[in-house]
Homo-oligomer: A and B are copies of this chain.
Amino acid sequence: MESIDQLCVNTLRILSLDQIQRANSGHPGMPLGAAPMAFVLWDKILKHNPKNPKWFNRDRFILSAGHGSALLYSLLHLYGYDLPLEELKKFRQLGSKTPGHPEYGLTPGVEATTGPLGQGFGMGVGMAIAEKFLSNYFNREDLNIVDHYTYAIVSDGDLMEGISSEAAALAGRLKLGKLIYLYDDNHITIEGDTSLAWNEDIELRFKAHGWHVITVSDGNDLDAIYGAIKAAQDEKERPSLIKIRTHIGYGSPKVDTPDVHGAPLSEEEAKETKRFFGFPEDQSFYIPEEAKKHFIESGSRGVKFEEEWNKKLEKYRKKYPDLADEFERFISGELPENWDLDLPVYKDTGKKIATRSASGETLNKLADKIPNLIGGSADLAPSNKVVLKGKGDFDSNNPTGRNIHFGIREHAMGAAVNGMALHGGILPFCATFFVFTNYMRPSIRMAALMNIHSIFVFTHDSIGVGEDGPTHQPVEQLMSFRVMPNITVIRPADANETVEAWKIAISRKKPVMLVLTRQNVPVLDIDKYPIREGVKRGAYIISDVENPDIILIGTGSEVHPALKAKEILENRGIRVRVISMPSWELFKEQDEAYKKEIIPDHIHKIVIEAGVPTGWKDIVGDNSTIIGIDRFGESAPGDELMREFGFTPENIVEKAIAVLQKT
């Protein structure tokens, strides 16, 4: 490399440092140490277009070590993304585009929100899955319209987190050869030398995961880094980990110490660092002219990359007009026409159907219409009913297969699905038991934080699970997601509500979670009940009466005992309204008039839900009774448990009468 390259590296370092010093907050160690690998990757390798950060065929880059955000902002600014220097000066300030950790959707060029360790590692795997699927779906002969790499810079923290083992094993199994991670091996964590807690042989471990491992012994050696990335590109089958020995806080007096990880330098230390790199010590946000010029020129090549690709796409369109149309539709995120026709309609024949089963049938109908709907389960596909029949397994031998075997790796699954959603061009879903959402909660939170279209299918939704017992019975999960911002949780009551729930999951373009029964439940007569309009509103009157004495509100499988309780109560002359409430979030979006109309203050409400009751008073107020579960479950047949815990028409009736007698 040339001396201009070194100047550019140091410019990245000092510009990052200046952001942190100005904010008096941030992580200087990583940018000082890892700037060389970031520079080589962005300058010599990465095909991206700063003028169009959404150019579809760009290489993806994730800063999995999100605490190094200042470095990413330096890169984005210098290469010409729409991130003015003024924003860098507002690093970590309210309303800026330069928050403490990179945030997707806020800053142009940020491909994923990162910071919680290992998430970036996992999302990259999802992006590479998306690329593999789409490239094999669309590319023809010499016309590779989808053909890019996914890169990330990962840290020791990423690699210690279990999610990285899961995600690496998945990537190795799927032979994601176009996934290339640069490991910033700086030997330092917050508590001290990494060896305090960590003596894994990382090369051996990643070989065991099925990866190609390259080592660069000097993280300042730009040529060596370049050579390593090129060698990683040459490896077509295995994902590559490039282990690059760096020095945290390089150039500062705190080099190789934990102190430089997460706190700004003192004024004097910052000056000393600037002197070390030959930068004027009294200037802030100083960008040498030659460096500026180099960055801009380098970044401007992106326009050419995209133009070349546009030409290719033009040729492709002429030769394969239908495929080209489909490609455009995929990347636009639009759904094919009539995607929601031919979905199942369930008649009340007396036969009970588990909502997971109705979900499986609906999903399969949807998959027939929506060819980029792909996903899978963490080894529970047959139980979760998410097998896409006749759609093949996604595999290196069959990369247009649409069933992904994520393995018993819920956490990596969640991150991968987020990565797929972020990549674009596909509509991803994943599945497991509802109780095991705990294992992937950090990834679900990332979906919520980024507000992206990840679809989560969770079955075995309550003590109705039965014999597997309390380890497998969610009780607190439902409420724990209702308190998570941005996630739409839908717990349908029957097969028909499940169909509607899926329509919302597909069309909402935000994270949606379906919560489904293991056990069979009655089918609600679609001709009798206003299910289609009702589910959309989150809650609706499923069975009404004039001047009700009491209102029963059920969710999911508990709508059925509520309806039965109504029958019993009405035989006793008590007028009952029954409400099915599959989704709090959808209900909260309704106007106040609707809310007050169906759930008025002056009538007593009884809520029936096989979950922790805390939270319901927000919906129904004091004039209410909640039949819920405030402890862990038990191991026994599910219907026995439902009785034991009071989810029976009889118990509802008893509660209703007690309330009415009081008033």
| A449 shortest CB reach to chain B, Å | 6
Which residues of B lie under 8 Å from residue A412 when comparing CB positions? 162
> B101–A471 contact, CB under 8 A?
yes
Among A604-623, those with CB < 8 Å from B are 612-618, 621-622
Which residues of B lie under 8 Å from residue A101 when comparing CB positions? 468-469, 471-472, 635
A contact residues, total (Cβ < 8 Å): 108
State A406–B412 Cα separation when bound (angstroms). Answer: 21
State A640–B379 Cα separation when bound (angstroms). Answer: 46
| A289 shortest CB reach to chain B, Å | 31
A546 within 8 A of B: no
A170 within 8 A of B: yes
A117 touching B202 in the complex, CB below 8 Å, given contacts A467-B92, A471-B66: no
Copies of this chain present in the complex amount to 2
A407 within 8 A of B: yes
Among A197-225, those with CB < 8 Å from B are 197-205, 207-210
The listed residue (B92, B468, B631) touching A636 by CB distance below 8 A is: B92
Among A161-214, those with CB < 8 Å from B are 161-166, 169-170, 172-173, 189-192, 196-205, 207-210
> B406–A197 contact, CB under 8 A?
yes
A198 touching B23 in the complex, CB below 8 Å, given contacts A92-B635, A160-B169: no
A243 within 8 A of B: no
A439 touching B471 in the complex, CB below 8 Å, given contacts A383-B190, A615-B483: no
A614 touching B483 in the complex, CB below 8 Å, given contacts A115-B468, A165-B162, A170-B197: yes
The listed residue (B203, B210, B380, B485) touching A190 by CB distance below 8 A is: B380
| A163 shortest CB reach to chain B, Å | 5
Interface segment among A473-481, A531-539, A570-578: the answer is: A473-481
Which residues of B lie under 8 Å from residue A479 when comparing CB positions? 479-480, 483, 614-615
Chain B, Cβ-Cβ closest to A376: B191
Which residues of B lie under 8 Å from residue A203 when comparing CB positions? 208
Which residues of B lie under 8 Å from residue A449 when comparing CB positions? 470-471, 632
> A173–B198 contact, CB under 8 A?
yes
> B408–A161 contact, CB under 8 A?
yes
A407 touching B644 in the complex, CB below 8 Å, given contacts A469-B103, A485-B612, A622-B622: no
> B209–A200 contact, CB under 8 A?
yes
Could you mark each residue 438-473 of chain A with 1 if its beta carbon is under 8 Å from any beta carbon of chain B, else 0? Answer: 110110010011000000000000000011111110
State A381–B191 Cα separation when bound (angstroms). Answer: 7
Return 21 A-B CB contacts under 8 Å, by A number.
A92-B637, A94-B635, A99-B634, A101-B471, A116-B471, A157-B379, A160-B166, A160-B408, A161-B166, A161-B409, A162-B162, A189-B379, A189-B408, A191-B381, A198-B407, A201-B208, A476-B480, A476-B484, A485-B631, A486-B631, A617-B617
Closest 6 CB pairs of A and B: A162-B162, A99-B635, A197-B407, A165-B165, A115-B471, A205-B208
